[in-house]
Structure 1
Amino acid sequence: MGLLFSRLWSYFTHEEHKLVIIGLDNAGKTTILYQFLMEEVVHTSPTLGSNVEEVVWKNIHFVMWDIGGQESIRQGWQTYYANTEFIILVVDSTDRERIGISKEELWKMLAHEDLRKAGVLIYANKQDVKDCMTAAQISKELNLTAIKKHKWQIQACCALTGEGLYQGLEWIVSQLKSR
């Protein structure tokens, strides 16, 4: 009976969850946002500031903030952290030269007071490109196993095809249900 009531209740409630999509410039953040929104590839230009869209998936409303990743914009990421439930860090799996910068930015975020309860989903994007880093390699480079105070998940994906994206959202939904 409880399960039935819970399911019926979910049709009448408006659950809304804030997600911040962050990563270095050219990682694929905006492409991922629009894959969720329209399920198609949208040609984008570098995000100067932010995009915000509401994505409804499995009757859950996600307010997704896509924040630009250029160095000058990264300094202001923290202005978007208030009330964030999940961080989606997008890593360009082909960008071996800047993986250390992604690691620095991740650990800065994890130390921020406004994100102390936020879950972290890492998308290892551009898995369709030959000789890219695997999700396991990226996990090692980012030192993900050292994260103890946050729930986290790494997901291989390709923003252009959508492959792996919904598995990441599935993990977020599972975290929401386990609260």
Structure 2
Amino acid sequence: MVNTYSSAIVNNFDFAKLRTWKDGLSFTKLFSRLFAKREMRILMVGLDAAGKTTILYKLKLGEIVTTIPTIGFNVETVEYKNISFTVWDVGGQDKIRPLWRHYFQNTQGLIFVVDSNDRDRVVEARDELHRMLNEDELRDAVLLVFANKQDLPNAMNAAEITDKLGLHSLRQRHWYIQSTCATSGEGLYEGLDWLSNNIASKA
């Protein structure tokens, strides 16, 4: 026996509309993926007085703030394009550095800030950087080096800092060095662009 009621439903159903609805749903999903805010956890470290806190609040507020040496950490959410960066700025004084490892978990991107004018401590900066990168919890994190304070006359350029930090030896790591001036904001957003593109490509 033929079920004429169900046959009528099938015969009268507008499959073109169904396809349009499904296509629209697919487009909605694609649109959401493209334009929904993505969240990224970023850890920013470096020796004391490198300019980390100045960078953080320049990105957050768009202005220069008066800072004192960070004892502990600052954490802020920085909104840029379609990315929401949670940035942890951890104090860089030598007695605090052993605490850095407590912030490593779930870090997707590491920003290492270098005072380009501090030639006396660039080897110390290199040692701290490589010590961190050997930690298992940071094995998948991409590395962005901010060669900061480029406005100072004696500042090392990015190529010199690349050499001093031994960045070319990091063959298994996605890394990039960006010249910056925290007080003017120069180079900061270029660095965020690189971070967002490279973290997204690893997702």
Q: Normalization by structure 1: what TM-score?
A: 0.94
User: What does residue range 1-179 of structure 1 map to in structure 2 within 5 Å?
Assistant: 5-11=29-35, 13-179=36-202
Q: Secondary structure at the match of 1:64?
A: strand
Between Structure 1 and Structure 2, which shows a larger proportion of helix residues? Answer: 2
Measured after TM superposition, the shift of residue 9 of structure 1 is 3.2
Cα root mean square deviation, aligned:
1.6
Task: Please list every run of 5 or more consecutive structure 1 residues that lacks an aligned counterpart in the other structure.
Answer: none
Change (3 A) 1:178 1:46: same
- Structure 1 residues 120-145: Cα deviation after superposition (integer angstroms, max 9, x where no partner): 00000000000210010000000100
Residues 54-78 of structure 1: CA distance to partner in whole angstroms, max 9, x if unpaired? 1111121111000000000001100
Identify the structure with bigger relative contact order (alpha carbons < 8 Å, sequence gap 6+).
1
TM-score (norm 2): 0.84
User: CA 1:37/1:105 → structure 2, altered by over 3 Å: closer, same or farther?
Assistant: same
- State the structure with more CA Rg: 2
| 1:117 partner SS | coil
- The number of residues matched between the two structures is 178
